[in-house]
Amino acid sequence: MTTKNPEIGKILTEAYQYWVRTLPFQLLFTVIYFSVIMFAGAYAFRYYGLFEQVNQFSQLMYSDFPAFIKKYEELMKTENAMYFTMAILVIKSVIFPLNIGFLKIYRKLDIGEPVAMSDLFGGFQGHYFFLFLIYSLFWNILNSYILIIPPLSLFWMGMMLFVPALVFYKNYNFFRAFRISVQIFQKNIIVVLLACLVSILVSYCGLVIFFFGIFVTFPFWNAVIYVLYKHLIADFQE
């Protein structure tokens, strides 16, 4: 049952409650997520020869930092650097299905089913992995350009917000899921935009306030997405 004009305060309060109830999953998620990106990213950085090139002028970091930054910026405009950037987008896309596990976990909490650590990997099971890999790759590539204009990026995030949940819960194809997601966004634009903005702030506040805090705050936005879905769509395929 959907909620008419849900209050942003209620949305965030409920999301916080889901987040608190699943703190061990939040920690495991973040450790896996950043470990994969860090190690795979480091391998890609070396594979494309960027590590060796940075090492050639690394001494400038201590003697002439502006010169170091200038050389690094020039390096990141090279062909190998572009290949590295694409590799990072692919790596992030491969690990994205880990987010879907929270949709499974939160739903199981609502219907009273026991939750297991294996539920966190629900997005990697069967065809879901390939579906969300393709979705995330499309999202990451397009968003890398849209990020140049932050307000536009926020609107894009709001329009795409419910696509993964609709694919996971309703088994919709991406085109149908996107159309419905945009419709829901248009009808609830203020609450969705506010929820997106707060989710971003909370997810990264652990890094700003206390570096290691990001290991539990980073996945917070998954709880916000679930609560928004529950209030604005509330259509689960049991």
**Calpha distance 69→58 (Å, rounded):** 10
What string of pLDDT tens digits covers the 238 residues of the chain?
566 667 888 999 999 999 989 989 988 998 899 899 999 999 999 999 888 888 888 888 888 888 888 988 888 888 999 999 999 999 999 999 999 999 999 999 999 999 999 999 999 988 899 999 999 998 888 888 887 777 888 898 899 999 999 999 999 999 999 999 999 999 999 999 999 888 888 776 655 554 444 555 778 889 999 999 999 988 776 5
Nearest to 205 by CA among 193, 195, 197, 213: 213
| CA distance to 24, 100, 158, 231, per residue, from 196 (Å) | 23, 17, 7, 15
Q: Are 201 and 217 in contact (CB under 8 A)?
A: no
Is residue 176 a contact partner of residue 190, using CB atoms and an 8 Å limit?
A: no
Looking at residue 44, its amino acid is A
- Asked if residue 2 belongs to a domain, the reply is no
Does residue 203 form part of some domain? Answer: yes
Two tokens, residue 87: 């590799």
Residue 87 located in a structural domain? yes
Q: How many domains does the chain have?
A: 1
Cα distances (Å, whole numbers) of residue 180 to 12, 46, 163: 23, 42, 8
Residue 238 in domain: no
Q: Structure pTM? A: 0.87
Q: How far is CA 144 from CA 88, 117, 133, 152, 174, in A?
A: 11, 32, 16, 12, 20
- C-beta separation of 102 from 32 below 8 A: no
Domain presence at residue 3:
no
Structural domain contains residue 1? no
Pairwise CA distance, residues 87 & 79, whole Å:
13
Establish if 100 belongs to a structural domain.
yes
Per-residue pLDDT, 210: 47
Cα–Cα distance between 1 and 232 in angstroms, integer? Answer: 8
Domain residues for 190?
Answer: 8-232
Q: Comparing C-alpha atoms, which of 124, 128, 36 is closest to residue 88?
A: 36
Q: Which residue has the tokens 């609709």?
A: 166
Domain membership flag for residue 32:
yes
